[in-house]
Amino acid sequence: MSVASGRMSTMARWTEERVIGAAPDQSSIAAARKLARPGPWSDTGSNDVLVWGKCQGSGKTPYQVSVDIAAPAYRCSCPSRKFPCKHALALLLLWARGEAAESGTETADFAEEWAAQRASRSAAREQRQSDQAADPAAQAKRLAERLTLMDAGIADFARWLTDLVRTGLASARTQPYSWWDGVAARLVDAQLPGLADQVRAMGSDVHARPDWADHLLLRAGRWWALTKAWTLRDQLSPSEFADLRATLGWATASADVQETEAIPGPWLVLGAHRSDDGRLQQQRTWLRAPDGSFVVVLDFAAQGQALTVPQLAGAVLDVTVARYPGSAPRRAMFTSPISPRGLAASLGEGCSIAQALDAEAAAVALSPWRDRRPVLLSGVRVCPGDPGWLQDEFGDALPVVDASLDSLLALTGGHPVDVFCELDEGRVRPLSLVVDGSVVVP
């Protein structure tokens, strides 16, 4: 039995929308559409977890393309650094249309070899994790060593913050990026990668943001409070400590979360956002539970790797979810296969801008480390300007960030709509909106 056929899976055929959602950018989709025809393809096939084929390019040897639709993961022998590349996207488009890669064929050697390599690496990784978990003494030693490193790193960072304030925040803007990156590198060495990412981002923000002074002052205050909270960590509640360690970048293993609970759906997909800091790609998918509470599913991928295909905004999912420790809205993970039930006509009951800000203030008092929070605004209009605003019926407004104002205006036509956003430092990032009984992405 082959590696691919031996894996138990009942993955459904993707839709074209899901293929498009997996693309790294619009240019890749445009190039893939040109290749999504049977002409350049040969030796295509599929089974429950793999899709494969050969695509004739400009050279003599066709490119070998393999896609693991369960992961998902992609491999192509072309030199492109995009994942998935145009060839993988084109193959998936053909497969989605039923025009190629029919099931029942023998797995191609190149696809089988790739699947075997992936399975071998996964088994080795699981074995290492199992070996580490089986030795409590070794675990305790590693924990003590990490805490010692983190203590030293926090102390060093507190001294740097003191110097930053003593010399004046204005001087920070004159520093080169290497100055910020050096501080971040020391934080990484101290196993504080989450804090390091914030410092690196600030090295760019002080030059890119018009409100850089206010932004730096806010961050410096949070960083100082964070250093004090770490020294008092034994006095924090479990949820408070969980928020703190997540901010510092001390991850909770998914295996420790997966068996804790299985909250049934249906779950409503409110929206998703992808970001890329040049080192790591992140995808945030916001879900709403039947009781109205929010959770966020985080996916990460290093450069050169592919993120998980995003769920469609407005989709209703039959799936169980487990939540990571921390305060609401909590991070979550899927713990069962995802079964789409259909599309919702609305995103639920929203609130006014004043209510959203009141909820934000209460959340900050509870957990000041969070960068963003979900909010569903009811009956807001898109107002033109620089950068543009969302205004509710009471005249309150919030500036828009990371969204095409032209697209928002075209979709809403100046009419009030419900908008799901991320609220981040007094600005909103629209992720979906309800127009004429349909959930759309701006």
Task: Measure Cα distances from 92 to 16, 84, 122, 303 in Å.
Answer: 8, 10, 24, 22
| pTM (predicted TM-score) | 0.71
Whole-angstrom Cα distance, residue 247 to residue 436?
A: 39
Q: Which DSSP state fits 24?
A: S
pLDDT of residue 341: 87
pLDDT of residue 103: 58
Q: If you search the block for the tokens 């693991």, which residue do you land on?
A: 68
In b/e form, how buried is each residue of 304-329, taking b as 16+ CB within 10 angstroms?
A: eebbbbbbbbbbbbebbbbbbbbeeb
What is the chain's mean pLDDT, rounded?
Answer: 87
Residue 233 neighbours by CB distance under 10 Å:
15
**What does the pLDDT average to over 211-219?**
92
pLDDT of residue 11: 55
pLDDT band of residue 8 (cuts 50, 70, 90) is: very low
pLDDT band of residue 282 (cuts 50, 70, 90) is: confident
pLDDT of residue 134: 61
Q: Which of 19, 48, 47, 49 is nearest to 35 (CA)?
A: 19
Q: What are phi and psi of 48, to 5 degrees?
A: -65, -25
The model's pLDDT over 350-400, given as tens digits with 9 standing for 90+, comes to 999 999 999 999 988 888 888 889 999 999 999 998 889 999 999 999 999
Q: Which of 401, 392, 287 is nearest to 333 (CA)?
A: 287
Whole-angstrom Cα distance, residue 53 to residue 290?
A: 42
Sequence spans of domains, the chain = 3-130, 136-248, 254-343, 353-440
pLDDT of residue 269: 95
The class that CATH gives domain 353-440 is: mainly beta
pLDDT band of residue 230 (cuts 50, 70, 90) is: very high
**What does the pLDDT average to over 112-139?**
75
The model's pLDDT over 402-411, given as tens digits with 9 standing for 90+, comes to 888 889 999 9
Whole-angstrom Cα distance, residue 184 to residue 170?
A: 20
Task: Report yes or no: 385 and 329 within 8 Å, Cβ to Cβ.
Answer: no
pLDDT band of residue 141 (cuts 50, 70, 90) is: confident
Q: How many CA atoms lie within 13 A of 408 on its CB side?
A: 29
Whole-angstrom Cα distance, residue 255 to residue 90?
A: 35
pLDDT of residue 277: 72
Task: Report yes or no: 139 and 130 within 8 Å, Cβ to Cβ.
Answer: no
Give the residue with greater pLDDT, 155 vs 143.
155
pLDDT greater than 50 at residue 3? no
pLDDT of residue 131: 62
The SS3 assignment for 232 reads coil
Whole-angstrom Cα distance, residue 268 to residue 393?
A: 26
Whole-angstrom Cα distance, residue 217 to residue 170?
A: 10
* Cβ neighbours for 187, distance < 8 A, ≥ 6 positions apart: 153, 157, 193, 195, 196, 199
pLDDT greater than 80 at residue 7? no
pLDDT greater than 50 at residue 96? yes
Q: Quote the tokens at residue 302.
A: 């290093």
